[in-house]
Amino acid sequence: MTEKRGIRPEDLYKLKSVTDPRLSPNGKNLVYVETQISKEKNDYSSNLYFINLDQKVPVAWTFGDKKNHSPRWSPSGDELVFVSNRSGKNQLYKLHLNGGEAKPLTELENGASKPVWSKDGKKIAFSVALKPEEKLGEKQEDEEKKKDEKDKELKPLEVAEMKYKSDASGFLDGKQSQVAILDLETGEITQLTEGVHSHNAEDWSPDGKQLLISSNQDEEKDFSFNLDLYIYNLETSDKKALTEGKKGMFYGASWSPDGKYIAFLGNEREYENATLSKVWLYDVEQNSSKCVTADWDVAVGDFVAADFQQGAVGPGLIWTEDSKGFFLQISHQGSTQIVHYSLNGERASLTPGNEHVYGFTVNAAGTLGVAAVSEPAHPGDLYQLDIKTGHREQLTAVNQEFLAEVELAAAESFVYKGAEGWDVQGWIMKPFGFKEGEKYPLILEIHGGPHAMYANTFFHEFQVLTAQGYVVLFANPRGSHGYGQQFVNAVRGDYGGNDYNDLMAAVDYALETFDFIDSERLGVTGGSYGGFMTNWIVGHTNRFKAAVTQRSISNWISFYGVSDIGYYFTEWQIQADLTDIEKLWKHSPLAYTDKMETPLLILHSEKDYRCPIEQAEQLFIALKRQKKTTKFIRFPESNHELSRSGKPNLRMKRLEAIRDWFAEYV
């Protein structure tokens, strides 16, 4: 038997992720997306796979190095629509259950995405990006288009709004998402919405005469963070507000099969972006809605912070065909679970709660499900679930060969006392080749957000560190999701306060509890908020031998004006603006560089608009001016998502830099 090895950064090229499982309505067939990375092309490719649940043999339905994703079954279950960039832009394609070539459904200048079938299977609503004055189907002449592209390079960018850039999209081009409808019988495409506001299709009414649409119709966009739901009457073009008077974020709307109810997710932003999303129910006949999970102190949705799954899609709200209840996903106590909610108020968990369920689908009867599940020592696979008995059966084993050659570290969960005596959850991972009686260095990992959650899931970076002989410690300090509204809100206005104390208590607990940790060899790293906290830590304690700060915040004063979210995020989280420079500076790690003695590696992406690279530049120059031990690595053509979905070769370079810095200084 070949001896197993530890995982390496470049193993990302060998690993595959399986996401977005979709059961046909009768529950007999399954389609899902498998994604892998090409080292030669330095890019990701995704393809659709099919499983007949009687035969349980995965079969590739699309091929090649393009991105094929978002498969959606027709109501009859004999066809599916999906999105592919095989023509150069995302367009809609259709496949038949009996096989054959994929048929293109759209060939639009600006592409197409987010398909939603009508309940009779005759139409598909979808999204297309258009400028306010642009109409669907209009095409520029080739010469005119070339001239426009050339001129575009020379034009200055005129900015009149505060929301003019996005980490995901760069400088915004004025395009908004609009809803169009494709008639499958005639091939005719009708543009349903237009203008300066963005719209997205959510779901069709059972009779096909109405469409649920989400949109922010506020005229003042810079200080508007609302998303409302509307019922669009396709026969009269009338639009009725579903969430009128409820200022907040509402989304994920799903019509009950009997047409009597609309279930949706959302919140009224009582705690700004730290507000837990709830489930709401709209009574169509009574024209009234209510929050049906007001007494349930959990986060509805998947808030797990991880670095592996590509294109993971949550299940939303899935009604059973009898309209008596629906399935949904929650983040709770470091795990995600699928729960069934009955209209009589009963709730039942269908999954055990010690894992990350990052995708889920169910048949129309609500008796059979398929879950995409990951654990710390398992990247993820699909499992068939008998909803009545809870019995599950593994359907895929996409990384079987790879897992046979590597040894992955499990994560042991524990609960310790943080600041103010609060219970805080943490995890410890032992190093590769662990031997009783030996001492090992420890790396503390800190997640971003801060409103996210470390969980019982696979994390490639953690496995790379354990393979290098480190103990990995991670925890969910206050501000994290998964532990109720008070817990997730507690960090606001207290950055560097009790969140810092929670993390230091995790280190203290680990040193007291696990005798295999070398207390003299500690390292710390984190990204985004975790990068802020890494900076804060090395400015307030010298207990760590080395630190790596990633895509971090160092100066809240400048962050206010340079981040794509700076002006409002700073006000929400630090609870100060430029009229209170003293408070912003008090919470800025840059103010404490004179106290930073820990060797600090600074990693940042050139095109990070969420935490712009000037945050790293300031920190690096301040430390170098004081002759501190530091190094700055800039990643070209990369944004805030480098560690999760960035260019594969740069993801490798990033992991190697972290590995080598700790090897040198811890």
Q: Which positions are catalytic?
A: 528, 640
Buried b (16+ CB within 10 A) or exposed e, 119-134: bebebbbbbbbbeeeb
Cβ contacts of residue 472 below 8 Å, gap of 6+? Answer: 409, 428, 429, 442, 443, 445, 462, 465, 466
User: How many residues are listed for the chain in this entry?
Assistant: 666
Rounded Cα–Cα distance for residues 276 and 224 (Å):
18
Most distant CA atoms of the chain, gap in Å: 76
Rounded Cα–Cα distance for residues 149 and 316 (Å):
39
Q: Which of 260, 197, 213, 209 minimizes the C-alpha distance to 236?
A: 209
The CA-based dihedral angle spanning residues 71, 76, 78, 84, taken in that order and rounded to the nearest 10 degrees: -20
For the four alpha carbons of 137, 142, 144 and 149, in that order, the dihedral sign comes to positive
> Position 625: which residue type?
R
What is the SS3 string spanning 329-371? EEEECCEEEEEEEECCCCEEECCCCCCEEEEEEECCCCCEEEE
Q: Residue 604, CB half-sphere, CA atoms under 13 Å: how many?
A: 28
**DSSP H stretches of helix in 394-445:** 400-405
The structure tokens listed for 385 are 């679930």
Q: What are phi and psi of 329, to 5 degrees?
A: -115, 140
For the four alpha carbons of 664, 427, 307 and 273, in that order, the dihedral sign comes to negative
Q: Residue 90, CB half-sphere, CA atoms under 13 Å: how many?
A: 15
Considering just the CA atoms, what is the radius of gyration of the chain in Å?
25
Residue with tokens 């830590």: 537
Helix 648-665 and helix 460-467: axis angle, to 10°?
40
Rounded Cα–Cα distance for residues 113 and 92 (Å):
7
Question: Do 418 and 445 meet the contact criterion of CB atoms below 8 Å apart?
Answer: no
CA angle centred on 346, ends 342 and 347, rounded to 5°? 90
